[in-house]
Chain A
């Protein structure tokens, strides 16, 4: 049933959506995610699904909003500038507690920025992106296999918690090809849950369903916020996910996700060969951030190094998670530039030297 194929990251996401039972995709072209939409334009008609190219990212996310309200598994994808445009829709999806899946294949910013890989949308992703108090679940795969599996999981998580789940990746992983185990889309069991809240016509069988985020009475609006945050508390408690490499005896903990984490592994090997006990803590869920794992690591570690392709965004979550109990330094490149193992190794050695001094 499972077979390994050589596939691009963007295409693995698309194929995973099919396997997860997603039959409605609303897209808009933008580099470096366009292969994803192109793949689904070919694939969706073959499995009886809908591929629709919207007139804008704004329209695409609102089509998702409509399809999600109608109770089907649906997805849209974009890259950084397009995610900004979708942020209005994300806020509405959250305000109505609708499940949806969103892919961000990040590129450099701000503004039109560039088309090379970046991780500069961390704040936007983990703090919600749009207006109002809300969260989305953010998954950060570390390779093509994980792009497949976590996209698949994203649909289950979205339905389970009635939330938007974002798969946050970047131009490196999106364009990279790796051998990936996939399932046959048509044969995969569908984990869709009952959605008694969805619209679809009352058909003389039930009271009418209203999907709405407008509450003019402050007390009512406050109540919806409070109950939503009860749910978020549950999600924070149960869904934190991370991976590690040589972490058990690590004195210098390198934190990195996605493409950065792969480079960091090489640097950790190099640092170990120079006698520094370095290890990797790789967040897989960026929201909820794996706070418990960081707090635990801080008990043994002497210092942390946050490796990012941004100007220092995840570093704030690390400092919060360990309550600034250990020094945290930033090792980063931005604008489409990628940190190399040598600079990360140097950052590890420096962090070790300062912690020893």
Chain B
């Protein structure tokens, strides 16, 4: 009997704890496939954030460090400087990367740190129960913006790719989306490139993946994917924002 489909080796057998309809599972798989296809799993070190993906170390079949909230790029810097032959990646959500860890993100990029950052943007703090995130949309209702995010008092969302693209140290940043087959395939390509860049010594590479949170958005899984398409994509347009040859 021939095998037509199997789990990629970079994923462990652990059952994912993510909510039904959450796209973290898809993004995990894309990252794992990219690492396997590039054949670098044996020298890869992952850095897990604080947030929904805090237990990423249970799912990726490689060495892992769990980092304090927002500090993953600094931790990754420490590993990469200590062991330059390691392939080092962080996997972070929007609260982790774009609120508490903004300084670590921006400066790792500014230094041109030769690491790969996977940034999962679902416009909300998921793990803590659905609070307003730095990427929560204007008008979006969350536990801590119960009347909808009002930019007059709560400010505006951060567009991370656009921001990092202004930095000389950023080698590559691209925004992709996990809402459809076509976009997932594009996401895979971007993620693989972000790892290939590190292998090639190109410097800081980040892929932002627009992701769904049916539980905290209060939507069904398929309506949540529609919400990515209808609400997030217009505000956070997918595309390559920086690609240093």
**Bound CA–CA A199/B41 (angstroms):** 13
Task: Tell me the smallest distance from the CB of A118 to a CB of chain B, in Å.
Answer: 28
Contacting residue for B78 out of A56, A68, A209, A212, CB 8 A: A68
In whole angstroms, what is the CA distance A204 to B55 when docked?
23
A208 and B67 within 8 A (CB): no
B residues 69-123 near A (Cβ < 8 Å) are 71, 74-83, 86-87, 103-104, 106-107
CB pair A24–B81 under 8 Å, yes or no, is yes
Interface of B is mostly: helix
Known interface pairs A70-B83, A202-B42; A54-B66 also in contact (CB < 8 Å):
no
Q: In the complex the two chains form, is A202's CB within 8 Å of B79's CB?
A: no
* A52-B81, A64-B78, A70-B86 known; A203 vs B43 contact (CB < 8 Å): yes
Interface residues of A in 80-137 (CB under 8 A from B): 88-89, 92
The answer to whether A70 touches B45, judged by C-beta atoms less than 8 angstroms apart, is yes
Is A210 engaged at the interface, CB distance under 8 Å to the other chain? yes
A47-97: which residues lie under 8 A (CB-CB) from chain B?
A: 50, 52, 54-56, 58-60, 62-72, 74, 88-89, 92
Task: Check B103 against A201 for contact (C-beta < 8 Å).
Answer: no
Most A CB contacts (10 A, CB to CB) among B42, B71, B79, B103 go to: B79
Closest-by-CB residue of A relative to B43 is A201
Using CB atoms, name the residue of chain B closest to A98: B65
Residues of A within 8 A of B104 (CB): 55, 58-59, 62
**Residue A211, interface by CB 8 Å:** yes
Q: Say whether A50 contacts B81, CB under 8 Å.
A: yes
Output the nearest chain B residue to A26 by Cβ-Cβ distance.
B78
Contacts of A89 in B (CB 8 A): 68, 71
The answer to whether B86 and A62 touch across the interface, beta carbons within 8 angstroms, is: no
Asked if residues B78 and A63 are in contact (CB atoms below 8 Å), the reply is yes
Contact A209 B75 (CB under 8 A): no
B186, CB-defined interface residue at 8 Å? no
Q: Is B54 an interface residue (CB 8 A)?
A: yes
Q: Size class of B's contact patch?
A: 35 or more
Chain B residues whose C-beta falls within 8 Å of the C-beta of A196 in the assembled complex? none
Query: Is A72 a contact partner of B82 (Cβ separation < 8 A)?
Result: yes
Q: For chain A, which range describes its interface: under 10, 10 to 19, 20 to 34, or 35 or more residues?
A: 35 or more
Write 25 A-B pairs (CB below 8 A) sorted by A numbering. Answer: A26-B78, A52-B81, A59-B103, A59-B104, A63-B74, A63-B77, A65-B71, A65-B75, A66-B47, A66-B67, A66-B77, A66-B78, A66-B80, A68-B78, A74-B78, A89-B68, A199-B86, A201-B87, A204-B42, A208-B61, A210-B66, A211-B66, A212-B57, A212-B66, A214-B55
**Interface set of B (CB-CB < 8 Å, partner A):** 41-45, 47-48, 54-55, 57, 61-68, 71, 74-83, 86-87, 103-104, 106-107
Interface residues of A (CB under 8 A from B): 24, 26, 50, 52, 54-56, 58-60, 62-72, 74, 88-89, 92, 199-204, 208-214
